[in-house]
Amino acid sequence: MASTARFDVVAIGNAIVDVIARADDALIAAEGLVKGSMRLIDAAEAARLYEAMGPAVEMSGGSAANTLAGMAALGRRCAFIGQVADDQLGGVFTHDLRTLGVAYDTPPLAGGAPTARCLILVTPDGQRTMNTFLGASHLLGREMIDEALIAASDILYLEGYLWDPPLSRAAMRRAIDVARAAGGKVAFTLSDAFIIDRHGEDFRALIAEGLFDILFANEVEICALAEETDFEAAVARIAPQVPLLVVTRSEKGAIALTGGTRTEVKAEPIDAVVDTTGAGDLFAAGFLAGHAEGRPVADCLTMGAVCAREIIAQVGPRAQTDLKAKVAERLA
């Protein structure tokens, strides 16, 4: 039976504008950064690093928003909850998301912190090193949560990055309660190992409570969450605790475990990796789109792999190719 919900997915996440520039490994080393990681920075550091970066491209980003952009491109009904400021970058973010067909009506923050931005350094191997100034995005309060919107969606998708600020953490916890009370599913993406380092106990407690129906992670994140160094041991520890566990493994493909059944797919072939920014976000987009369509898990994984391939073959986290056509061609 087709869902009667207004939206397939409503997501809560950081509303961020990405500032993307090419960089060599020498700059990464000079700045004392860990290549491929994400760190939080303050306004002063954001200004200083921006001056050190080369020519940049600005485009709307944010992990959960990227996932919704991909889902919308695949024809799914999506809505976003996230905080921007009433400034130029906030206007850019809002315009971009709505233009893609994602419902977005969270009122902008008037006064105070500016719209968040992520300064992304992309090295020749395609790795992205992210430096995030959260700005207005981490001021998403509980009063900004549209409970009717959440109740009208099949899946609530939560971005682990937004668990860090106390205000948004409380807002997301309330959103979980609303979704579950309405009979919806809750999907959670772990986002980054550093978030698990800070909030792993919270995440493990939420999992133990049975509050997540779908959990997304990559190899590093699942090991951090399980407090295991071995990938298979980590998967074995977490999989029985969630109805559906999805783990991406870069060039080794991806796996999903549900009801004791494990499904694996290989990574989609690609000529060259240009920029890994948004790879996990678009994988989740493809997987959730397939899930919304009621497809088998193998098809959902394949859809995720196709979307991830398309995004790492370009600069930036918003697809510049026809994802729907690419998926249809692959599944034909």
Where does the pLDDT of residue 2 fall: very low under 50, low under 70, confident under 90, or very high at 90 and above?
low
Report residue 133 as tokens: 């100034």
Cα three-residue angle 124-74-222, rounded to 5 degrees: 55
- Write the pLDDT tens digit of every residue in 34-54: 998 888 899 899 989 989 998
Full-model pTM:
0.91
Mean pLDDT of 220-233: 98
Question: How far apart (Å, rounded) are the C-alpha atoms in residues 302 and 283?
Answer: 9
Question: How far apart (Å, rounded) are the C-alpha atoms in residues 320 and 132?
Answer: 24
Say if residue 332's pLDDT is above 90: no
Alpha-carbon Rg for the chain in angstroms: 18
Where does the pLDDT of residue 274 fall: very low under 50, low under 70, confident under 90, or very high at 90 and above?
confident
Supply the mean pLDDT for the chain.
94
Mean pLDDT of 106-132: 91
- Write the pLDDT tens digit of every residue in 134-162: 999 999 999 999 999 999 999 999 999 99
Say if residue 4's pLDDT is above 80: no
Predicted pLDDT of residue 185? 98
Predicted pLDDT of residue 242? 98
- Write the pLDDT tens digit of every residue in 56-96: 888 888 999 999 999 999 999 999 999 999 998 899 999 99
Say if residue 1's pLDDT is above 60: no
Choice among 5-14, 75-84, 110-119 with the minimum mean pLDDT:
110-119
Cα three-residue angle 226-262-323, rounded to 5 degrees: 95
Question: How far apart (Å, rounded) are the C-alpha atoms in residues 119 and 176?
Answer: 30
Which spans in the chain are helix H? 25-30, 43-52, 63-73, 88-99, 147-151, 166-181, 193-208, 219-226, 231-238, 279-292, 297-312, 323-331
Question: How far apart (Å, rounded) are the C-alpha atoms in residues 12 and 174?
Answer: 12
- Write the pLDDT tens digit of every residue in 175-192: 999 999 999 999 999 999
